[in-house]
């Protein structure tokens, strides 16, 4: 009798574990208003820059997360036919203190339009350089290049934004 009870308890335990592993006891989904949507946040346009930085035209710091701003970057690249663009513009960078999704990111604007962010390591170096120059929290400008967009096999390749500020290694 005891053996039968033990076997039944083991079978019930195994069935409960299988049910849990298949996804039982899931918490209810949060309401749509509670879900983070990174597509809805855009930082405000930057103020007039406090300084202009240059790395002697080397253009070695790439802006990240441009895919969200691909249409803006394409428009800023301007017409260039089937050849790739190498459009030179002025960028304005500022620490985005209000960003709810990242800790102190550095937003990049060209022509007053958002085009992406500095990579975290570059953003940290940017903030440190601002402190050294006693302009912490202020906007900074630099030269920028929009490259890419070459026609290949009937399709247009992606664009990238490069900045004339020293990259962090």
Q: In the numeric block, which tokens belong to residue 53?
A: 């930085």
* Distance from C-alpha of 120 to C-alpha of 145, rounded to nearest angstrom: 20
pLDDT confidence tier of residue 86, bands split at 50, 70 and 90: very high
pLDDT tens per residue, range 53-70: 999 999 999 999 778 899
Spatial distance between the Cα atoms of 16 and 146, rounded to a whole number of angstroms? 58
When pLDDT is averaged across residues 41-59 and rounded to a whole number, the result is 92
State the average pLDDT over residues 6-20: 78
Whole-number average pLDDT of the chain: 86
DSSP state of 62: E
Tell me, what's the pLDDT at 111?
A: 95
SS3 127: helix
Domain that holds residue 47: 1-169
Task: For residues 145-167, give the mean pLDDT.
Answer: 92
- Residue pair 115/161 in contact by the 8 Å Cβ criterion: yes
Contact 108, 163 (CB under 8 A): yes
Give the residue among 146, 165, 13 at the shortest CA–CA distance from 76: 146
Q: Residue 14's pLDDT is what?
A: 80
Q: What is the pLDDT of residue 7?
A: 79
CA 29/CA 125 separation, integer angstroms: 39
pTM: 0.74
Q: Between residues 95 and 9, which one has the greater pLDDT?
A: 95
The predicted pLDDT at position 67 comes to 81
The residue written with tokens 């490259």 in the block is: 147
Q: pLDDT value at position 28?
A: 59
Q: How far apart are CA 38 and CA 100, in angstroms?
A: 9
**C-alpha span between 111 and 54 (Å, rounded):** 18
Q: How many independent structural domains does the chain possess? A: 1
**What does the alpha-carbon distance between residue 116 and residue 70 come to, in Å, rounded to a whole number?**
9
pLDDT in tens, 120-148: 999 999 999 999 999 999 999 999 999 99
The whole-angstrom separation of Cα 104 and Cα 116 is 14
């Amino acid at each position: 009798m005891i053996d039968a009870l033990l076997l039944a308890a083991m079978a019930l335990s195994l069935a409960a574990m299988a049910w849990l592993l298949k996804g039982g006891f899931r918490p209810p989904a949060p309401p749509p208003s509670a879900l983070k949507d990174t597509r809805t946040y855009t930082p405000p346009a930057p103020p007039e820059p406090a300084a202009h930085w240059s790395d002697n035209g080397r253009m070695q710091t790439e802006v990240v997360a441009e895919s969200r701003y691909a249409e803006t970057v394409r428009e800023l690249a301007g017409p260039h036919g089937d050849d790739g663009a190498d459009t030179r513009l002025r960028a304005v960078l500022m620490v985005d203190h209000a960003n709810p999704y990242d800790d102190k990111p550095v937003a990049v604007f060209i022509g007053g339009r958002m085009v992406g962010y500095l990579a975290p390591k570059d953003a940290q170096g940017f903030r440190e350089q601002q402190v050294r120059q006693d302009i912490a929290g202020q906007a900074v400008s630099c030269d920028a290049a929009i490259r890419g967009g070459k026609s290949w096999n009937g399709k247009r390749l992606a664009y990238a934004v490069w900045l004339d500020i020293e990259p962090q290694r």
